[in-house]
Amino acid sequence: MQDKQNLTYKQQYEQAQAECAMQLAVVQPWLKQFTEEYNKNHPRATMGTCMYDNGKEDQVRIITSPFGDFYWHTEAGKTLMERQKTGEIGLYYVYGAGSSFIIEYSPAQQAVFAYEGQLYQGVHREPVNAYFLYTEPYINAAGSVEEAALAAKNATKRAEVPMEVALAAQKLNSAQNYLGAVYGCMLEEERRGW
């Protein structure tokens, strides 16, 4: 693989696309299987395809800032957000699906890293546990407002996820962020006629 500094933006974009495809090949099948299993066990409250394709057959977007979901305004959600800020967990939100991959890390250990021939001191955390938070679909039944509020309160559930899938979601997030940055550079290059 060539050094990124010697690649054109188009070549970097193609490499980032390949990285996204590689991580997507791990994350998307797990999400699809999870959704199918859930739908089989909950025929009145099926999950839509946004869980695994976000409206496009080959696309799952992973972001690090959940929004628009009731859960993140609860005490449990706020606690997770605080833990993310301290580095205790990694939170990788499936855009548009009301679900997140959570990776819990070991306490920080002092470590020495080598980068481009230089040694740097920092902290290292090992991933020790992973799980998946998901939102129960809302059932628009002839129930009361109190029932709807109770359903919303209990809507977020926790499921086990293999560590390799959660780590692939983390890598997919990084690759998608890089892909977006390189795409922006390509557009700027085109705009300036370079």
Render pLDDT for 13-71 as a digit per residue (tens, 0 to 9). Answer: 899 899 999 999 999 999 999 989 988 888 777 777 767 766 666 678 888 877 667 67
- Residues forming a β-bridge with 129: 104
Cβ contact 178:16 at 8 Å: yes
Q: How far apart are CA 81 and CA 180, in angstroms?
A: 24
Buried b (16+ CB within 10 A) or exposed e, 115-153: eeeeeeeeeebeeeebebbbbbbeeeeeeeeeeeeebee
Render pLDDT for 64-97 as a digit per residue (tens, 0 to 9). Answer: 877 667 677 788 888 998 999 999 999 999 887 8
pTM tops 0.85, yes or no: no
